[in-house]
């Protein structure tokens, strides 16, 4: 795989980040990937490289760019129980400052960047994300139904998106929840709203997982949950994205 540093012009500056794509040239379906709240780091690069290995151009922006380039927060190599409080103390103000207006403004810039890349195939793209990045992915798909063919969010606070917004979706969607991410009542309400939207969708709790199960540099990591995530994400992209 090829990894390239990118700089995406936005309304508020320039978002740094990286793109992962197959070697050998050609055009590939585009995927916008949002990292979790800990931001860009080796495990996120590994996820993007794995996805690119299946034939996709994967753009991973630093959505905290307003606070500085990657790494915005210096993270330990492993985010365990003893370091998690200090890390959260640093990242939570960044997450709170990333308002919906900022999310939507940036999403427009990221999609515009993908559409202009010669390595990206014409047509709609997919958006995926982890933790708060999954919420950003969903908000991006809601705001740009004509440009997003698929959205996948994993252990994400997607319950924050209400029925009126879900009704605007046209993308096929998958939500992979950790046990405990949502209360049973909240999950049932979310699933009812998703069904009422009338789109192709799956929303499931991954058994035995806790929040953050895809991230191998945390105590939350669950190998079976990560494998299940790939068995849901890859077929979704294969069904929905146009190949050159």
Residue 221: what are its φ and ψ, rounded to 5°?
-60, 135
pLDDT at site 164: 96
Please indicate whether residue 219 is annotated as part of the active site: no
Please indicate whether residue 12 is annotated as part of the active site: no
CA 107 to CA 12: how far, in whole Å?
12
| Active-site choice (177, 211, 217, 222) | 211
| Domain residue extents for the chain | 2-240
CATH architecture of 2-240: 3-Layer(aba) Sandwich (3.40)
Please indicate whether residue 165 is annotated as part of the active site: no
| Active-site choice (16, 131, 222, 229) | 131
Task: Tell me the pLDDT tens digit for each residue of 138-186.
Answer: 999 999 999 999 999 999 999 999 999 999 999 999 999 999 999 999 9
Q: What is the DSSP letter of 66?
A: G
| Active-site choice (16, 36, 106, 181) | 181
Helix (H) or strand (E) holding 195: helix 184-196
- The reported pTM is 0.97
Mean pLDDT of the chain: 97
Q: Is the pLDDT of residue 50 over 90?
A: yes
pLDDT-based confidence at residue 1 (cuts at 50, 70, 90): confident
Burial of 65 per CB tally in 10 Å (0-12, 13-18, 19+): buried
Q: Which residues of 176-187 are buried (b: 16+ CB within 10 A; e: fewer)?
A: bbbeebbeeeeb
């Amino acid at each position: 795989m090829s990894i390239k540093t990118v700089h995406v012009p936005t309304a508020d500056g320039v978002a740094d980040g990286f793109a992962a794509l197959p070697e050998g040239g050609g055009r590939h379906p585009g995927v916008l990937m949002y990292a979790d709240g800990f931001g860009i780091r080796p495990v996120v690069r590994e996820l993007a490289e794995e996805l690119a290995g299946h034939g996709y151009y994967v753009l991973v922006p630093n959505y905290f760019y307003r606070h500085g380039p990657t790494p915005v927060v210096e993270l330990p190599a492993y985010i365990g129980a003893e370091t998690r409080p200090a890390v959260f103390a640093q990242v939570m103000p960044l997450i709170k400052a990333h308002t919906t207006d900022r999310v939507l403004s940036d999403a427009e810039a990221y999609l515009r960047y993908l559409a202009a890349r010669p390595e990206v195939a014409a047509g709609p793209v997919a958006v995926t994300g982890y933790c708060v990045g999954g919420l950003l992915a969903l908000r991006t798909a809601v705001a740009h139904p004509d440009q997003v063919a698929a959205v996948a969010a994993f252990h994400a606070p997607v319950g924050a998106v209400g029925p009126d917004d879900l009704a605007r979706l046209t993308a096929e969607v998958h939500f992979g929840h950790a046990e405990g991410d949502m209360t049973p009542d909240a999950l049932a309400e979310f699933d009812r709203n998703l069904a009422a939207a009338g789109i192709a969708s799956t929303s499931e709790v991954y058994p035995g997982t806790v929040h953050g199960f895809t991230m191998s540099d945390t105590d939350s990591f669950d190998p079976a949950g990560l494998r299940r995530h790939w068995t849901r994400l890859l077929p979704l992209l294969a069904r929905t994205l146009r190949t050159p």
